[in-house]
């Protein structure tokens, strides 16, 4: 997915990459940044979905269209043809996610990269959101996964690490930290919030299934509207919780567990 440009991050409408008509195809010129897997050698070809300004489109997001721009053009027999006019000019240096190349992409340094319109002109945002909504749901799910793993590790550590005596202890000796009320509070808070995240994600997934497969003719619109509302909530809330719950998990580990 190629949306981001140096001046166009959250403000997608500030995009400058342009498409011009060339017969039944388009020529794409511009620079994209932060493109995940913009270049790699895991597959023989790479199909870029590029958001760009339509030839006669209005300003802002209303003038954006989606173009399919392959790294290698495809011959009539389905084999790989000439290299398209696009290349990765550099890789971003990140704090993490090093196995995922984040590329700066240059389109049309020469005659213009050949692109094919996806859907209708000026409806590029709608087309892109088909993929972005799927990605948002997956990102929310990653928030849940990280939270669940943080909880499992914190719980196991709290069972094993022996330190101090809880206020309610009657017998002699030290106890696992799991018995301290504040540690229990942290673990219970993590567990409860994870259950809520899981419920929200299942509910959203079921809503999407109903939007696609419900037998009642009026139902798809109703369920799609609900899914459209829930998907950004899954993405934003579950990732916020993932960070907050991982932070609590580190707190349960103390210095000994952290090291």
Binding stretches for ligand FAD (CB under 6 A) = 1-4, 9-10, 34-36, 94, 97, 102
Burial label for 166, CB within 10 Å (0-12, 13-18, 19+), is middle
Residue 35 vs 245, nearer CB to ligand FAD: 35
What is the Cα–Cα distance from 15 to 59, expressed in whole angstroms?
9
Residue 5 vs 151, nearer CB to ligand FAD: 5
Q: Work out how close the CB of 159 gets to ligand FAD at its nearest, in angstroms, rounded to a whole number.
A: 35
Q: Which of 157, 254, 241 is nearest to 199 (CA)?
A: 241
What is the Cα–Cα distance from 219 to 208, expressed in whole angstroms?
11
End-to-end CA distance of the chain: 39
The CA distances from residue 65 to 46, 109, 112, 120, in Å, are 19, 20, 16, 7
Residue 107 vs 157, nearer CB to ligand FAD: 107
Q: Work out how close the CB of 34 gets to ligand FAD at its nearest, in angstroms, rounded to a whole number.
A: 4
Q: Work out how close the CB of 178 gets to ligand FAD at its nearest, in angstroms, rounded to a whole number.
A: 37
For residue 258, which phi and psi values (nearest 5 degrees)? -65, -45
Q: Work out how close the CB of 9 gets to ligand FAD at its nearest, in angstroms, rounded to a whole number.
A: 2
Q: Work out how close the CB of 3 gets to ligand FAD at its nearest, in angstroms, rounded to a whole number.
A: 3
Residue 5 vs 85, nearer CB to ligand FAD: 5
Residue 89 vs 205, nearer CB to ligand FAD: 89
Q: Work out how close the CB of 250 gets to ligand FAD at its nearest, in angstroms, rounded to a whole number.
A: 22
For residue 16, which phi and psi values (nearest 5 degrees)? -115, -20
Residue 1 vs 68, nearer CB to ligand FAD: 1
Contact 190, 147 (CB under 8 A): yes
Phi-psi region at 173: left, alpha or beta (left = phi > 0; alpha = psi -120 to 50): left
């Amino acid at each position: 997915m190629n949306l981001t440009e140096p001046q166009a991050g959250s403000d997608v409408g500030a995009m400058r990459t342009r498409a011009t008509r060339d017969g039944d195809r388009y020529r794409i010129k511009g620079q994209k940044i932060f493109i995940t897997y913009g270049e790699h050698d895991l597959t023989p070809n790479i199909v870029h979905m590029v958001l760009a300004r339509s030839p006669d489109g209005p300003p802002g997001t209303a003038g954006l269209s989606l173009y399919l721009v392959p790294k290698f053009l495809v011959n009539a027999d389905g084999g790989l043809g000439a290299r398209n006019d696009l290349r990765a000019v550099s890789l971003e240096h990140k704090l993490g996610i090093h196995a995922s190349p984040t590329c700066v992409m240059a389109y049309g340094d020469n005659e213009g990269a050949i692109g094919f319109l996806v859907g209708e002109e000026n409806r590029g945002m709608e087309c892109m959101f088909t993929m972005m909504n799927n990605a948002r749901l997956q990102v929310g799910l990653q928030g849940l996964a990280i939270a669940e793993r943080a909880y499992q590790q914190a719980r196991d550590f709290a069972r094993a690490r022996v330190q101090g005596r809880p206020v309610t202890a009657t017998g002699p000796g030290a106890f696992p930290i799991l018995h301290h009320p504040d540690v229990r509070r942290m673990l219970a808070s993590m567990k409860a919030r994870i259950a809520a995240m899981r419920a929200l994600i299942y509910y959203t997934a079921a809503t999407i299934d109903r939007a696609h497969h419900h037998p009642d003719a009026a139902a798809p619109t109703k369920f799609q509207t609900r899914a459209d509302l829930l998907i950004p909530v899954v993405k934003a809330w579950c990732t916020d919780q993932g960070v907050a719950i991982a932070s609590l998990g580190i707190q349960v580990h103390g210095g000994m567990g952290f090291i």
